[in-house]
């Protein structure tokens, strides 16, 4: 589906050969051309990850319909904006249910809406994917982002969508879009930063005595259960072991009477197409996996995503989801560890409160003003919350200042 821009406003193209269109399936896009866009080491915008979700039944059953904005210069793909038409807010991890209810009370439809996001993945990264070899000038890249922004807004206006949401993007990118009435919203996650630690004990030395002793106690308790602990890359697991990792993940949903959003076929796909960017931290009993945590990595970051276990043991969750990840970052020189959304319990284990950002375009003028006022108050609350959390930092000194 092609879009003719600009319908309103000024054309931002520095190159008249640029053309923008909407792609409803990544099967239509050559994987090698797509993977030249953006940061290729960031796993969640790789063609294999996004198309894997689509191909293996993880999207439309839960209200995600692909509508990616893509830009070509002649025959060359030069930019993309991963987008989905949403009929609910499931799997976004930026909660706007109160906004939807307010629309409903006013007799208007909040759904469908357009979302630029990685489904079920609250990991900050670039959402405006640009081929830097084809468009290397910084000003041209900004114009290209604004061009994609225009396209997304026009798509919403053409289809009478209530809003467009850009989730878990960098603040500096969202700031550059303010001329298009993009409202900024922040939240808190808990992230770990590698301060050039030589080993895990070097990291522990930066913590207060009480926190340090507690972590050592937790790791010792796990080791006493006799589990074999390992962090393995995706290609090291057999097809049967990937099946077991899925089974453990799905068991969390089954115990809570929910439906797993990821499918067994998607897990097998990860092991075949994204290794070694996919990692599994596991605990084995007599060689068989009884607990597992799924990780992804870039050149600089480790991302913890899902977890499951069938054999309960005290502190096993902390070992598989946090401590193995910290060990891996130190060993492989990764600078940051993002273990996933929420969780104040992460603070005492060395993960500090870190702001995440989203941007929101609201079609209705009065609702946009009301939401802007709400966000002003909410953002102040988040600032206060972060300040309060930092007063309970587990570190003896500023962790960025060194041991």
Give me the tens of pLDDT residue by residue for the chain, a chain 403 residues long.
555 554 433 455 557 789 999 999 999 999 999 999 999 999 999 999 999 999 999 999 999 999 999 999 999 999 999 999 999 999 999 999 999 999 999 999 999 999 999 999 999 999 999 999 999 999 999 999 999 999 999 999 999 999 999 999 999 999 999 999 999 999 999 999 999 999 999 999 999 999 999 999 999 988 888 899 999 999 999 999 999 999 999 998 888 778 999 999 999 999 999 988 999 999 999 999 999 999 999 999 999 999 999 977 889 999 999 999 999 999 999 999 999 988 899 999 999 999 999 999 999 999 999 999 999 999 999 999 999 999 999 999 755 544 3
pTM: predicted TM-score of the whole model, two decimal places? 0.93
CATH number at residue 67: 3.40.630
The Cα–Cα gap between 94 and 86 comes to: 13
Here the tokens at position 150 are: 């225009």
* Domain co-membership, 18 together with 150: yes
- Which residues share a beta bridge with 357? 169, 186
Burial of 220 (0-12, 13-18, 19+ CB in 10 A): exposed
DSSP string, 342-368: --GGGGGGTPEEEEEEEEEEESSHHHH
Same domain, 250 and 335: yes
Residues in a beta bridge with 309: 291
> Would 363 be classed as within a structural domain?
no
| Predicted local distance difference test score (pLDDT) of residue 4 | 55
In sign, the C-alpha dihedral spanning 331, 333, 335, 339 is: negative
Residue 66 located in a structural domain: yes
Q: What is the distance, to the nearest Å, from the Cα of residue 302 to the centroid of all Cα atoms in its chain?
A: 12
Q: For position 313, what pLDDT does the model report?
A: 84
Which uninterrupted H or E stretch holds 317? helix 316-318
DSSP 250: H
C-alpha distance from residue 33 to each of 28, 70, 240, 253 (Å): 11, 11, 32, 36
SS3 34: helix
**What is the residue whose two structure tokens read 């209705």?**
364
Query: Both 20 and 134 in a single domain?
Result: yes
Residue 13: what pLDDT?
58
The angle at the Cα of 221, spanning 219 to 227, to the nearest 5 degrees, equals 85
Q: Are residues 168 and 198 in the same domain?
A: no
Final residue in a domain of this structure, among 309, 330, 353? 353
User: What is the structure's pLDDT at 2?
Assistant: 54
Looking only at the bridges linking them, the beta strands covering 18-23 and 76-81 are unpaired
Contact 47, 278 (CB under 8 A): no
Q: Is residue 366 a part of any domain in this protein?
A: no
25 found inside a domain: yes
**Residue 341 and residue 217 share a domain:** yes
DSSP three-state, residue 332: helix
- Write down the H helix ranges in 81-188: 97-105, 138-158, 171-175
So what's the pLDDT on residue 401? 42
Domain extent, residue 206, equals 191-353
Beta-sheet pairing, 228-233 with 76-81: unpaired
Please report, for the domain that includes residue 303, its CATH number: 3.40.630.30
Q: Sheet holding 129-130: strands in order across?
A: 2-3, 18-23, 68-73, 76-81, 129-130
Q: Does 41 lie in the same domain as 130?
A: yes
From 148, 131, 104, select the one nearest 38 (Cα to Cα): 131
Q: What is the reported pLDDT for 14?
A: 58
Query: Among the residues of 159-227, which ranges form H helices?
Result: 171-175, 200-204, 209-224
Is 7 a domain residue? yes
Rounded to whole angstroms, how far apart are CA atoms 338 and 191? 5
Spatial distance between the Cα atoms of 48 and 76, rounded to a whole number of angstroms? 20
Contact 265, 56 (CB under 8 A): yes
Q: Are 129 and 211 in a shared domain?
A: no
In a domain, 358, yes or no: no
Q: How many domains does the chain have?
A: 2
Nearest to 291 by CA among 323, 256, 321: 321
At 276 the pLDDT is 86
């Amino acid at each position: 589906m092609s879009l003719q821009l600009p319908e309103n406003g000024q054309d931002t193209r520095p190159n008249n050969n640029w053309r923008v269109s909407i792609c409803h399936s990544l099967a239509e896009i050559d994987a090698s051309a797509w993977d030249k866009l953006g940061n290729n080491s960031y796993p969640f915008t790789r063609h294999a990850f996004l198309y894997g979700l689509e191909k293996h039944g993880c999207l439309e059953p839960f209200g995600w319909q692909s509508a990616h904005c893509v830009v070509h210069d002649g025959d060359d793909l030069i930019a993309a904006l991963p987008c989905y038409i949403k009929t609910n807010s499931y799997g976004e991890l930026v909660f706007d249910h109160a906004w939807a209810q307010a629309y409903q009370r006013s007799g208007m439809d909040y759904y469908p809406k357009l979302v630029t996001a990685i489904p079920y993945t609250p990991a900050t990264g670039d959402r405006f994917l640009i081929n830097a070899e084809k468009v290397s000038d910084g000003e041209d890249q900004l114009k290209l982002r604004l061009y994609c922004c225009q396209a997304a807004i026009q798509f919403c206006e053409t289809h009478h969508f209530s809003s467009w949401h850009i989730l878990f993007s960098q603040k500096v990118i969202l700031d550059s879009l303010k001329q298009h009435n993009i409202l900024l919203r922040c939240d808190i996650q808990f992230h770990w930063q590698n301060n050039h630690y030589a080993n895990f004990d070097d990291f522990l030395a930066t913590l207060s005595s009480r926190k340090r002793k507690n972590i050592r106690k937790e790791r010792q308790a796990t080791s006493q259960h006799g589990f074999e602990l390992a962090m393995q890359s995706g290609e090291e697991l057999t097809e049967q072991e990937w099946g077991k990792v899925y089974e453990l993940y799905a068991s969390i949903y089954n115990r809570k009477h929910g439906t797993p959003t990821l499918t067994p076929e998607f897990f097998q796909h990860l092991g075949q197409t994204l290794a070694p960017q996919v990692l599994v931290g596991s605990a084995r009993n007599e060689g068989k996996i009884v607990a597992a945590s799924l990780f992804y990595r870039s050149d600089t970051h480790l991302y913890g995503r899902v977890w499951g276990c069938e054999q309960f043991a005290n502190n096993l969750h902390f070992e598989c989801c946090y401590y193995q990840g910290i060990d891996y970052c130190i060993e492989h020189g990764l600078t940051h560890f993002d273990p996933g959304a929420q969780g104040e319990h992460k603070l005492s284990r060395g993960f500090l409160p870190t702001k995440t950002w989203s941007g929101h375009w609201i079609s209705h003028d009065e609702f946009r003003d009301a939401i802007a006022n709400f966000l002003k108050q909410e953002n102040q609350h988040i600032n206060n919350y972060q300040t309060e959390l930092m007063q309970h930092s587990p570190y003896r000194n500023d962790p960025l200042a060194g041991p």
